[in-house]
Amino acid sequence: MKQISKLLLASVIALIAIPNVQAEHLIVLGANDTHSQIEPASDGLGGLLRRRAAFDEVRRNHKNVIAVHAGDAVQGTLYFSMFGGEVEYAAIDSLGYDMIVLGNHEFDNGMESLTQHYKKIKAVKMSANYDFSNTKLADVLQPYCIRTVAGKRIGFFGINVDPKGLISDDKYAGMLYLDNCEVAEATAKYLKEVQKVDFTIMVSHIGYYPETVGQVGDSIIASRSHYIDMIVGGHTHTLLKPGDPRTQVRNADGKIVTIGQNGKHGKYVAVYDIDLDDFSVKYDQIKLDKSFDAKAHYPAFEAWLKPYKFKVDSVMGNVLGRSVRAMGDGDQPSQNWLCDAVMEMLPGISGLKLDGVIMNKGGIRQPMPKGDVTEGLMGSMFPFDNRFLVIEVKGSDLLEALRVMATRGGDAVSKEFKVEFTGSLDNPKITSAKLNGKKINPNKTYKIGTIDYLANGGDHMEALGRGPRLFVDTVPYGEHMKEYIKKLTRENRVVDASETIRMIHK
């Protein structure tokens, strides 16, 4: 017995002497809504080569790294306007993304163009709730991907936004949308119960918050779920910093689901550090500032990029006019300036007198800096192939359109409008709506300047499409905006804007 006791004691001592073995970790790098921002943005942050340097640095310091992009890699600078995605899609594999999901702007040039680009990308392309069975993308995308890391099975799956009212119908013809909330939970359950994964990660392009009434966002899906463990998010350009309570959402069982998102233009990289022992997640971000410039040297890629950059720079350097104020992309001054500019120029283009103008702040893709206004800047601010329209709108439809705009906290209207609304953004109520100082009459008709995207039901503005179209332009409206800047310069005028809030939430 003494001998057995001595052996048992020795065994215990030996076990105590063995140092604790640290659990393996998986680092997931998340990017989203980089929007063709190849160069650093106007505030000096971001840039494609810096992001590649950040990825490579993390890979040097960690054994298990998976990089994912949560959609909208394209649209927003001249790189996309001029080259249609050649640069951005080539960069997906150059940066070594393991998986990507579709953003709504991936459809901007139509399914044919998207198919051509996506077939060349080596990264796994995921979408669980877009059914491409009747399209050329049928064999290109898959609903999920499973990776085994340190003996643990990690399931990734892609979830996409409802295209209705967001993507023009002709741009996704043949694709079938499946409810993203239902599919997200069903896919996560399948991965856990059938595929026996240990941890599920939803790579999402639906947004942190729902954009319109009746839709859901990442936070809602997480709160209703039993099977989703982590979400790499995109779409709403929400900047979720480490420590932000919004990054920690309790699911239906009370368990924490970590959600991250990096804003837009690729200024940050999300870092999810997953402990593969207890599956706890530490969320962090890398700020892509000039400190990465010394590391961001990739001669082969830079040589490939050089001719594209040369063509972009040649356009960016062509000065058209001058702005006396800085404006953000889609802030109140930029909304006001755009609508007032359209109100000034569209009567001359159409030959019609307008009562007012309605545009969309989401169509303003870059900020306006104080100083020189270049051709390239205007092309980047207004990159979409949308056309001016003049429509005849019944007052009741106009009020309905304004209510939809109120769900976004207000949107871009010309100075002829003054609108007040109350209530939550989920269910706002228009309390006062005036046009040219008079209350909008539900039974009267009005001539409104807008763009085909909105009149076709984009941004859920179906109400604008119910009346006759009195004028349809044939030129992308961004070209008219360039000519407007030239006109200001000829008349010794400058770009300026009112800060007045025209749709007031009381």
pTM of structure: 0.88
Whether the CB-CB separation of 82 and 358 falls below 8 Å is answered with: no
CATH number of 25-308: 3.60.21.10
pLDDT value, residue 215: 85
CA–CA distance, 84 with 101 (Å, rounded to integer): 18
CA–CA distance, 297 with 312 (Å, rounded to integer): 20
pLDDT band per the 50, 70, 90 thresholds, residue 15: very low
- CATH architecture of the domain 319-505 equals Alpha-Beta Complex (3.90)
CA–CA distance, 434 with 418 (Å, rounded to integer): 5
Mind listing the pLDDT tens digit for each residue in 215-255?
899 999 999 999 999 999 999 999 999 999 999 999 999 99
Tell me what the pLDDT averaged over the chain comes to. Answer: 94
- Section 389-408 average pLDDT: 97
pLDDT value, residue 438: 98
Mind listing the pLDDT tens digit for each residue in 260-310?
999 999 999 999 999 999 999 999 999 999 999 999 999 999 999 999 999
9 pLDDT higher than 50: no
pLDDT band per the 50, 70, 90 thresholds, residue 212: confident
Mind listing the pLDDT tens digit for each residue in 39-69?
999 899 999 999 999 999 999 999 999 999 9
CA–CA distance, 130 with 503 (Å, rounded to integer): 35
- Section 158-171 average pLDDT: 93
pLDDT band per the 50, 70, 90 thresholds, residue 22: low
- Can you give the residue ranges of every domain in the chain? 25-308, 319-505
Give the HSE-up count for residue 194: Cα atoms under 13 Å, Cβ half-sphere. 6
As a whole number of Å, the end-to-end CA separation of the chain is 84
Mind listing the pLDDT tens digit for each residue in 113-151?
999 999 999 999 999 999 999 999 999 999 999 999 999
Task: Give the three-state DSSP class for 344.
Answer: helix
> What is the separation of C-alpha 446 from the centre of its chain, rounded to a whole number of angstroms?
33
C-alpha dihedral sign at 60, 62, 65, 68: negative
C-alpha dihedral sign at 217, 222, 225, 231: positive
Helix H, strand E, coil C: the string for 125-177 is EECCCEECCCCCCCCCCECEEEEEECCEEEEEEEEECCCCCCCCHHHHCCCEE
Whether the CB-CB separation of 451 and 477 falls below 8 Å is answered with: yes
18 pLDDT higher than 50: no
pLDDT value, residue 14: 41
Helix H, strand E, coil C: the string for 312-339 is HHHHHCCEEEEECCCECCCCHHHHHHHH
β partners of residue 419: 433, 503
Residue keyed to tokens 């802030």 = 331
